[in-house]
Amino acid sequence: MLIVMKHGASEEQIAAVVRTIEEMGYGAEPIPGRRRTAVALVGNDGRIDPGRLDSLPGVFRVIHISPPYRRASRDWHPDNTVIRLPNGACFGAGEVVLIAGPCAVESEEQLLETARRVRAAGATVLRGGAFKPRTSPYSFQGLGEEGLRLLTLAREETGLAVVTEVLDPESVEVVAEHADILQIGARNMQNYSLLKAAGRADRPVLLKRGMGASVEEMLLSAEYVLLEGESRVILCERGIRSFDTHARNLLDLTAIPTVKELSHLPIIADPSHGTGSRRKVSPMARAAIAAGADGVMVEVHPMPAEAVSDGAQSLTPDQFEVLSSELRLIARAIGRDLAEPVRPAAVAGA
Amino acid sequence: MLIVMKHGASEEQIAAVVRTIEEMGYGAEPIPGRRRTAVALVGNDGRIDPGRLDSLPGVFRVIHISPPYRRASRDWHPDNTVIRLPNGACFGAGEVVLIAGPCAVESEEQLLETARRVRAAGATVLRGGAFKPRTSPYSFQGLGEEGLRLLTLAREETGLAVVTEVLDPESVEVVAEHADILQIGARNMQNYSLLKAAGRADRPVLLKRGMGASVEEMLLSAEYVLLEGESRVILCERGIRSFDTHARNLLDLTAIPTVKELSHLPIIADPSHGTGSRRKVSPMARAAIAAGADGVMVEVHPMPAEAVSDGAQSLTPDQFEVLSSELRLIARAIGRDLAEPVRPAAVAGA
Amino acid sequence: MLIVMKHGASEEQIAAVVRTIEEMGYGAEPIPGRRRTAVALVGNDGRIDPGRLDSLPGVFRVIHISPPYRRASRDWHPDNTVIRLPNGACFGAGEVVLIAGPCAVESEEQLLETARRVRAAGATVLRGGAFKPRTSPYSFQGLGEEGLRLLTLAREETGLAVVTEVLDPESVEVVAEHADILQIGARNMQNYSLLKAAGRADRPVLLKRGMGASVEEMLLSAEYVLLEGESRVILCERGIRSFDTHARNLLDLTAIPTVKELSHLPIIADPSHGTGSRRKVSPMARAAIAAGADGVMVEVHPMPAEAVSDGAQSLTPDQFEVLSSELRLIARAIGRDLAEPVRPAAVAGA
Amino acid sequence: MLIVMKHGASEEQIAAVVRTIEEMGYGAEPIPGRRRTAVALVGNDGRIDPGRLDSLPGVFRVIHISPPYRRASRDWHPDNTVIRLPNGACFGAGEVVLIAGPCAVESEEQLLETARRVRAAGATVLRGGAFKPRTSPYSFQGLGEEGLRLLTLAREETGLAVVTEVLDPESVEVVAEHADILQIGARNMQNYSLLKAAGRADRPVLLKRGMGASVEEMLLSAEYVLLEGESRVILCERGIRSFDTHARNLLDLTAIPTVKELSHLPIIADPSHGTGSRRKVSPMARAAIAAGADGVMVEVHPMPAEAVSDGAQSLTPDQFEVLSSELRLIARAIGRDLAEPVRPAAVAGA
C-alpha cells in the first residue's frame, strides 16, 4: 500500500502518516519524490482497512499495490481450488463443466424434459430458478418451494447436480436442502448478510458478478464467504453495465484470465444473461471456453417462446446440443475437455 | 410498448404476436414499415411483463414507450409526494432538507457533538450508520444495536430526525424502532426481500441508487416498496460507475431533473459517497441544490482524520456551516429555501 | 422510426408531427395509446435526419426502429462483403486472417525479423505503425515516412500485405502508396474529414471502434467511407471504456455477433490494445475467433522488453506461434480455417 | 511513478528495472514488501514515457503517482491561467462567462436575432457551428465558410466574441480569421494533428472533453496545444458515456472541482450537449456554476422546433433570459458574478 502525499504536504503530515502506519502494526518507508512524497506501507497481509490513512491531513490518495483480499488471492494460495460435486462434476481441475436448464422452474414436465435433454447433450449440472429476483415487481417471481421440490426430483431422476438461487438469509437453509450449489445472484453480490449466511450452509457457492461490480469487488465478496469457512466458491461472469446497449449487458470475458491470475477460485461464464439474446449465446459461450473458463451456464428451454421469463435468451435443446459439440472441440484445442457425462439414476441410486 | 419484428418476419409470426398481446388483455395494432413491421401494444397500464413477447419467433426487439412502473410514475400521480417527518422536516413541498452526520456512529461523544453542530448549522435530519455494509470484510462493520441506541439519544437531545441504514429483513423491525427514516443502501437497491420488508415497516424509506443501476431501475425498486403500501419513498442519487476514476463514483446530477419529470417522488443527493473526497463535497452539494434536489445528505465528522470509516469524504462542522449558508442562497436563487431549523429538546419534550 | 408524444400532448401537436413527416416525404401513422400517443414514420430508407422531429413541441422522444445507416446495413445488402488483398488474403469469405507485427516500426531489423517470424507462424498481413497517435505528447510518435518505406520493404521480402495507420487527410496519399489497407485508429473513428479522405484513396479501410463509441456509431462511421465509394471496410473491435480497470480497455466480443447480424461488413478483433497485457492477449484472441471474428490483429515484437511502445502487450514470436496453432483448431471447431500462408518473394516477384 | 513487481519476481528482474530507470536519467528506489517488491522512480518531471518499464520481465504494473502532464498541471503552475478576449470577456479571473447561440449557423436572420437576444440577456460570447461534425453522414453538415462570414457579421454588429468549431488542420487558418476562440469538438479531442495545428493559430482554444475520455486524457490533449506555444486553453465538460440512457450523455460536473485541483486552466460546461434535452439544460447550467465552472455554453435558437440540428436541446431566448438571472444569483452565492455585458457596435467600432 502506498500513501501518496499532496504536493506541498508538510513534514509533520508525513510524520503523522508514518506514525499511524506503525500504530497499525506495519512498517512505514517514506519515498521522497520531485513533486511529492509517498509513504510505503510494508507488511500488508491483505487485511488492512485503509480508512484511517485516507483521511489523514496532507494525504492525496492511497494506492493499493497488493490486492485488498487475502483468502481469495493466489498470492497466498497458489494452487487452484478444486470443487467436486456429489455427482462427480468438478470445477477447477481442468475439465469444462456445462450447466444448463431453464431460467425459471415452471412445471414438472418442463423441468424434467429440459433436464433429460441437457444431460444427453453433455451437461452435468442443472440450473433452474425457484426464487426469482426480478427488476420489475410485475414480473414472474418463481414457484418458490414447489420449484425446489421439482429440482430435487430432476436430480433424482437424471443424476444432474442442481444449482439454484437463494435470495435472502432466511431461505438459505431450505434452499441448501435441495441444492448442490447455492447461487448468489448479481443483484445480491454485495448483500453481505446473505453472503455470510451462504458461507455457513455447507454448500459450494456460485457467486455471480454484480452488473456494476469490478473484479476486485467480486473477489472481496468471495472473501466474505471464505471467511465463514466455506472454501468452495465458484465465480461467474455474467455481464456488466456498458454505455452501448446493443446487448443487455456487456459480457466481460477478459475477467476470466484476470481472475485466473489474481485468484485460485474457478470461474465460469453465463452468456445467457450476459447477452440477453439467443443469437448471441452460442458465440459467447464458445468465446468463454476459448478464453479459459471452467464452465458455462446456459439457459435452455424446450419451448423458449412460452417461457415465463427470459425466453428471448434461451436456447432450444437442439441448439444446446450443437453448442455442446463445438465446446468440446474448443476445450480440446486448449488442452482441456468437457466433463464426463453423468449416469442417470445409477448415480442417484448408487 | 412496441414489438419490432425482424426484417423478413413472416405473416404468421406477426399474427402470433398480435394474438399473444390480445391474450394478455391488451390491444394490438400492426404498423407495416418499409424494412420491417412493428406491432404496437395499446392499453399498457404499467404492469406488463414483456417476457412472453420478447421471445416469440420473428421478434427483433421490444421497445418500452411508457415506463414499466406505475405507482412511481408521474403519469398516474401528477402531484409531488410530500413526506413530513415527526420533527417537521418535509421533503417534496419545496423546501430543501439538510441531512448531516457521521458515516458511522462511533461513540456517544462523537455522535452528540456532530448532531449539535449540524443542527446549529441548519440540518434537520441526522445521519449515522449503525450497521455498515463494507466492500471489504476487514473494514469496520458498525456498532450495531448500540449505534441505534445512540441515535435515539441524539434525536432526543437535539430534535433532529434520524435516518440509518438497514441491511437485512431480520433487522427491519429493530431499526424501525429507532429511526425516522429507513435507509436502503446502494448495494441493496435490488435486494427485493429487503425492499418488501422495509415497505411494511411504517417508516419513510430512503432508497439509494445502486452504483450500476439506471434511473428506471431505481424507480422499479421504489415500486416494490410502494406496492407494499408504503407511499413515502425518498430517492437518493449517490454516484454511479464510470470509466473515469478521478472520483470514487460519478455523481449523476442529471438524474435529479429526470426523476422530477418521470416521478412524483422526492429526490436528494449524497455528494459525500458521490465523490469520495472532501474537497469535492461542497461544490457538488451546491450543484445538487442548483439542479433542483429536495435535499442533500452530507457526512460530517468532528475529527475526520480519526473517523473509522470514510474520513476522507467527511466535512468538518465548520466546513458544513459554510456550505449551509451557500446552500441557502442557492435555494433562494431558484425560489426555494432551506427547511426551518428544528428546536432542540422542545421537540422531543413536547 | 417512432415519434413518442408526451403524456398530455395536444391534438395540434400530434397533427404537426404528422405534417412534418409528410413534408419530409414519408408516411405518418398515429398510434393512440392509453397513456400517450406515438406516431410511426413509415418508409424509412435509412437516410432520415431525426433532428426536425426531435424538437417539435409535445414530442417526448424519437425511437429508431430501423438502423440509421443504410449502406452498412444487412437489411439492404444481405450477402457478406468479401475483401481480397493483392496477396490473396481474404476477409469475409469464411477464412480467418491473422494480422501481426510490432506496435510501431522501429528499425529495418526489428520489422523484418518480426515479419518473417509471423509469416512462418501463419500470418498473412503485417501490422506496424509509422505514424503513431499517442495520448501523451511525450511518448514516441513513430518514424513517419521512413517507417512506411520499411513496411514496403517488408512486404516485398515476405509477401505479407501491409496495414498501417493514417492520422490526417494530408497523409492519406503517402500512406496509401505504401499500404494495402489504411487503418483509421480508435481516436479518429469520428474524424469525418479523415474518413472521407480515406474513402477516396482506393484502398480497403480498417476502421477501429472508438473507445467511447457504440456499435451503431462505428457503423455510421463506416457509412461515411462507403458513401465516398469505397465498399471495402473492415471493422475492428479493440476494447471500450469500462468502470473496471482490471484491463486497459474492455474488449467487447459480443460486438462480433452483433455486427454479423446488423451488417455485411467483416469484423476482426485487436486483443493487444483490447487488453493491454501480454498474459491476456492469447486467451482473448482465441475467444474472438470462437465468437466468429474474421480475423485478429496481434502485436508481436522480437524483444517486447525493448519495444518503444506497447511492449507490455506484445507477444514474442514464439508465443504467437503457439497462439496460431490454437486458433487454427478453434477455427475448425466452428467450420472455418486459417487463411493459407502466403508464399514469400514469389508473391512479390510474380 | 511506482513500478510494482510480480509476486515472485527475481532479484535480476528487480535489478533490471532499477538499471532501466537510471538509464532514463531518473533515480530508482526499491521498496521490498511482504508480498511483492515495488520500485519507486524518483525525479519524475511529468515527461516520462512508461512504455519501457511496463514491459520489463517481472513487472506487474506501473502506477502513476504524479500526473503524466506537466504544462497543464497546477503542480508546476500554481496560479490560474487568465484568458481575456478582445471584447473584454475573461476566463479564469473569477467572473462567470455566458456563451450562447445556435447549434448551427443557419441564416443571417437566425444568427443575428439570436446574437442580439443572448447579448441582451448577459452573454458575452456567441457560439455557432459553421462546420458541423455529425454522427450520421445524412445529417446537416453546416454552411461552411458562409457560416464563418455570418459569425463575423454578428460579432461586428453585437460586440460578442465568437467561438466556432474547426474540424481539420486545413481549415484552421480560415476559421482563425473569423473566430476569437477555436473550438475542438469532443470527437476530435484526440485528433493530434488538429490539436497541433490549432496550437499554432494564435487563438485561444476551447477543448471539449471526448465522450469516452478521462479528465487526465483531456489534460494530456491540452498539453499538445500548450506544447505548441499556445497557453490559452479553455476546457469544457460536455458529458461522457454512461450505461444509463436517461440523458444523451452523462454530464460529469465533478470534473469541474477536479480540474480546478489538478490544473490552472479554466473550465466551463456545455449542458446542452451534456443532456440533449431542453428541460434539463437550465438545471444543469445552474449546477455547473454552483460547482465552480468558469462559464457555461448554452444552445439558444429563436425557433427551436425549426432548428436544422439539435433543436431538442436548444433554449428559446426567453428561457435563456430566465436562466441568466438565476445564474447571476448563484454566482454571487459563491462570491463570483457574471461577466459585464458587452457594449454593441461601440466595441466593434472603437
- Name the residue with cell 421440490: A149
Taking the C-alpha atoms of residue A238 and residue A287, their distance in angstroms, rounded to an integer, is: 13
Residue C264 shares a structural domain with residue C342:
yes
Higher pLDDT, A182 or B24: A182
Classify residue C73: in a domain, yes or no. no
Q: Which residues are CB-contacts of C12 (< 8 A; sequence separation ≥ 6)?
A: none
Instruction: Give Dmax over CA atoms of chain C in angstroms.
Output: 74
Residue B107 shares a structural domain with residue B171:
yes
**Interchain CB contact of D291 with A (< 8 Å):** no
CA distances from C341 to A335, B239, C82, C122, C273 (A): 25, 52, 18, 5, 25
Contact A65 D65 (CB under 8 A): no
When mean pLDDT is compared across A168-172, B212-216, D8-12, D161-165, the lowest value belongs to D8-12
Q: What's the pLDDT tens digit per position in B325-339? A: 999 999 999 999 998
Classify residue D77: in a domain, yes or no. no
A297 grid coordinates: 451456464
**Interchain CB contact of A77 with D (< 8 Å):** no
Residue D222: predicted pLDDT: 98
Higher pLDDT, B44 or B292: B292
Contact A138 B48 (CB under 8 A): yes
Q: Is the pLDDT of residue C350 over 60?
A: no
Taking the C-alpha atoms of residue C243 and residue B278, their distance in angstroms, rounded to an integer, is: 22
- Name the residue with cell 409528410: C22
Residue B345: predicted pLDDT: 52
Burial D1-26 (b: 16+ CB within 10 A, else e): bbbbbbbebeeebbebbbebbeeeeb
**Interchain CB contact of A18 with D (< 8 Å):** no
Residue C117 shares a structural domain with residue C35:
no
CA distances from A243 to A240, B265, C189, D134, D185 (A): 10, 26, 17, 19, 20
Residue D89: predicted pLDDT: 95
Q: Averaged over B86-113, what is the pLDDT?
A: 96
If DSSP states are collapsed to H, E and C, what string results for A75-109?
CCCCCCCCEECCCCCEECCCCEEEEEECCECCCHH
Taking the C-alpha atoms of residue C286 and residue D159, their distance in angstroms, rounded to an integer, is: 61
Taking the C-alpha atoms of residue C294 and residue C338, their distance in angstroms, rounded to an integer, is: 10
pTM for this prediction? 0.93
Residue C76: predicted pLDDT: 83
Q: Is the pLDDT of residue A102 over 70?
A: yes
Total residues found in chain C within this entry:
350
Amino acid at residue number C37? T
Residue C213 shares a structural domain with residue C139:
yes
Spell out which residues of chain D touch residue B334, defining contact as CB-CB under 8 Å: 286, 326
Q: What's the pLDDT tens digit per position in C67-77? A: 889 899 998 89
- With a pLDDT cut of 70, the percent of chain C lying above it is 98
Q: What's the pLDDT tens digit per position in C81-125? A: 999 999 999 999 999 999 999 999 999 999 999 999 999 999 999
Cβ(A38)–Cβ(D42) under 8 Å?
no
Classify residue B70: in a domain, yes or no. no
Q: Residue D27 forms beta bridges with which residues?
A: D42
By DSSP bridging, strand D37-42 and strand A90-91 are unpaired
Phi, psi of C237 (to 5 degrees): -80, 125
Amino acid at residue number C97? V
Taking the C-alpha atoms of residue A83 and residue A231, their distance in angstroms, rounded to an integer, is: 9
Residue D15 shares a structural domain with residue D98:
no
Q: Nearest CA of chain D to the CA of B242: how many Å?
A: 7
Contact A191 B192 (CB under 8 A): no
Q: Which helix (H) or strand (E) holds D59?
A: strand D59-63
Cβ(D347)–Cβ(D87) under 8 Å?
yes
Classify residue D78: in a domain, yes or no. no
Q: Which helix (H) or strand (E) holds B179?
A: none
Cβ(A194)–Cβ(A169) under 8 Å?
yes
Residue C14 shares a structural domain with residue C124:
no
Cβ(C306)–Cβ(C109) under 8 Å?
no
Residue A297: predicted pLDDT: 98
Contact C257 A283 (CB under 8 A): yes
Task: Indicate the Cα dihedral angle D253, D254, D257, D259, nearest 10°.
Answer: -90
Q: What's the pLDDT tens digit per position in A68-97? A: 898 999 988 999 999 999 999 999 999 999
Residue D348: predicted pLDDT: 43
Cβ(D120)–Cβ(D78) under 8 Å?
no
When mean pLDDT is compared across B126-140, C14-28, D58-72, the lowest value belongs to D58-72
Q: Is the pLDDT of residue D300 over 60?
A: yes
Classify residue A25: in a domain, yes or no. yes
CATH number at residue C21: 3.30.70.1140
> Structural domain tally of chain C?
2
CATH number at residue B101: 3.20.20.70
Classify residue D71: in a domain, yes or no. no
Number of CB pairs, chain C paired with chain D, less than 8 A apart = 140
Residue A51 shares a structural domain with residue A98:
no
Give the DSSP letter string of C173-218.
HHHHHH-SEEEE-GGGTT-HHHHHHHHTSSS-EEEEPPTT--HHHH
Cβ(B170)–Cβ(B201) under 8 Å?
no
Amino acid at residue number C316? T
Higher pLDDT, A137 or D323: D323
Residue D118 shares a structural domain with residue D57:
no
Q: What is the mean pLDDT of chain C?
A: 92
Query: Cα–chain-centroid distance for residue D288?
Result: 14
Taking the C-alpha atoms of residue A259 and residue B31, their distance in angstroms, rounded to an integer, is: 48
Residue C345: predicted pLDDT: 52
Count of alpha carbons within 13 angstroms of residue B80, beta-carbon side: 16
Domain of residue C16: give its range: 2-63
Q: Averaged over C291-297, what is the pLDDT?
A: 98
Residue A205 shares a structural domain with residue A117:
yes
Q: Is the pLDDT of residue B350 over 60?
A: no
Q: What's the pLDDT tens digit per position in D31-62? A: 877 778 889 888 877 777 777 787 788 888 88
A345 — pLDDT class (breaks 50, 70, 90): low
Q: Which of residues 243-262 of A touch D (CB under 8 A)?
A: 243, 245
Taking the C-alpha atoms of residue B140 and residue B218, their distance in angstroms, rounded to an integer, is: 28
**Burial class (CB within 10 angstroms; exposed 0-12, middle 13-18, buried 19+) of A346:** exposed
Q: Nearest CA of chain D to the CA of B215: how many Å?
A: 7
Q: Residue A84 forms beta bridges with which residues?
A: A90
Among the partner-chain residues C46, C56, C311, the one whose CB lies closest to the CB of D305 is C56
Q: What is the mean pLDDT of chain A?
A: 92
Residue B164: predicted pLDDT: 98
Q: Residue C61 forms beta bridges with which residues?
A: C4
Contact D223 C59 (CB under 8 A): no
D345 — pLDDT class (breaks 50, 70, 90): low
Closest-CA residue of chain D to C224: D137
**Interchain CB contact of A7 with D (< 8 Å):** yes
Q: Nearest CA of chain A to the CA of C289: how many Å?
A: 8
**Closest listed residue to residue A240, CA positions, set A258, A264, A261:** A258
Q: Is the pLDDT of residue D319 over 60?
A: yes
- With a pLDDT cut of 70, the percent of chain D lying above it is 97
Residue A293: predicted pLDDT: 98
Q: Is the pLDDT of residue C181 over 50?
A: yes
Q: Is the pLDDT of residue B47 over 80?
A: no
Q: What is the mean pLDDT of chain D?
A: 92
**Interchain CB contact of C31 with B (< 8 Å):** yes
B40 — pLDDT class (breaks 50, 70, 90): confident
Q: What's the pLDDT tens digit per position in D66-112? A: 788 989 999 889 999 999 999 999 999 999 999 999 999 999 999 99
B102 — pLDDT class (breaks 50, 70, 90): very high
Residue B114 shares a structural domain with residue B16:
no
- ipTM at complex level: 0.93
Cβ(A222)–Cβ(A265) under 8 Å?
yes
- Name the residue with cell 400521480: B77
Q: Is the pLDDT of residue B34 over 80?
A: no
Residue B143 shares a structural domain with residue B200:
yes
Residue B108: predicted pLDDT: 97
Q: Which helix (H) or strand (E) holds C237?
A: strand C233-237
Contact D31 A36 (CB under 8 A): no
Contact A63 D66 (CB under 8 A): no
Among the partner-chain residues D51, D136, D194, the one whose CB lies closest to the CB of C310 is D51
Q: What's the pLDDT tens digit per position in A238-288? A: 999 999 988 889 999 999 999 999 999 999 999 999 998 889 999 999 999
Q: Which helix (H) or strand (E) holds B310?
A: none
Residue C227 shares a structural domain with residue C303:
yes
Q: Is the pLDDT of residue B349 over 60?
A: no
Classify residue A72: in a domain, yes or no. no
- With a pLDDT cut of 70, the percent of chain B lying above it is 97
Q: Is the pLDDT of residue A344 over 70?
A: no
A332 — pLDDT class (breaks 50, 70, 90): very high
Q: Which residues are CB-contacts of D119 (< 8 A; sequence separation ≥ 6)?
A: D126, D158, D159, D160, D341, D342, D344
Q: Which of residues 183-242 of A touch D (CB under 8 A)?
A: 241-242
Q: Nearest CA of chain A to the CA of B79: how many Å?
A: 23
Taking the C-alpha atoms of residue B165 and residue B171, their distance in angstroms, rounded to an integer, is: 10
Q: Degrees (nearest 5) of the Cα angle D165, D169, D174?
A: 60
Residue C331: predicted pLDDT: 98
Contact A333 C329 (CB under 8 A): yes
Q: Averaged over D254-266, what is the pLDDT?
A: 97
* Angle, in degrees to the nearest 10, between helices D317-333 and D278-290: 20
Among the partner-chain residues B31, B34, B65, the one whose CB lies closest to the CB of C29 is B31
First and final CA of chain A: distance in angstroms?
A: 53
Residue B348: predicted pLDDT: 43
Q: Is the pLDDT of residue D346 over 60?
A: no
Taking the C-alpha atoms of residue C145 and residue C228, their distance in angstroms, rounded to an integer, is: 26
Q: What's the pLDDT tens digit per position in D3-31? A: 988 888 999 999 999 999 999 889 898 88
Q: What's the pLDDT tens digit per position in B64-81? A: 877 889 899 998 899 999
Classify residue C49: in a domain, yes or no. yes
D220 grid coordinates: 494530456
